[in-house]
Chain A
């Protein structure tokens, strides 16, 4: 079945690293994504990783992919108050002739001083 799971909340101190975890079910997913949603706004694509990669780094963001365990994580280094948002993990699934994105429920990241 289609299911992407994430923990719902994470609280970190400003300046620390944040690690948001995600598990997915479809081993044939070609791409996995991280989206960020600020209050009352749409989703913004943060980063993505191709399924044949183990790691991708983009400035303060590091994505780790463990295909064997179907586990994806997003690490934010030096977390700032502006990073407070909901973070969604998504996997792509080819279904009905097109690529469909399956989203997790989102992890709410709270950054405190």
Chain B
């Protein structure tokens, strides 16, 4: 079955520790995204990648880092510089044509809940 897989479902971070959230897709989508969800707020974009080996900062990139070495994978590292990391993290992908005004339907993973110990 095609889809997006996020792991782990729950993750705990100690102070000063970096943690990495995994996101894998087998939809053959070019574009991948990381969003952060806090209670009572909309989704906020952390990073996005339109193509392999390229990624751009979203609205709240500080304290996070990503890589896109393979089309299928877009891991997110929450660094110790992120002082308020507790949130629900969602990965998404889409068929993305750069410069397109097309219908950018996003497909989401099931999320990772990150908490601070």
Contacts and interface: CB of A to CB of B under 8 A. Distances in A.
Q: Is the interface of A mostly helix, strand, loop or mixed?
A: strand
B109 A45 contact: no
Q: Is the interface of B mostly helix, strand, loop or mixed?
A: loop
B110 A42 contact: yes
A64 interface: no
Interface residues of A, number: 28
Interface string A78-113: 000000000010001010111111111110000000
Nearest to A108: B40
Given A92-B104, A97-B98, A40 B41 contact: no
A99 B111 contact: no
A92 B42 CA distance: 14
Nearest to A30: B101
Nearest to B3: A42
B105 interface: yes
A41 B111 CA distance: 6
Interface residues of B, number: 29
B102 A48 contact: no
Given A4-B42, A43-B90, A105-B42, A98 B106 contact: no
A11 B103 CA distance: 31
B45 interface: yes
A30 to B, nearest CB: 5
A98 B47 CA distance: 13
Interface string B64-102: 000000000000000000000000001010001011111
B16 to A, nearest CB: 28
Nearest to A102: B42
Contact of B43 (A41, A48, A88): A88
Contacts of B113: 40
Contacts of B100: 98-99
A103 B42 contact: yes
B31 to A, nearest CB: 7
A101 B104 contact: yes
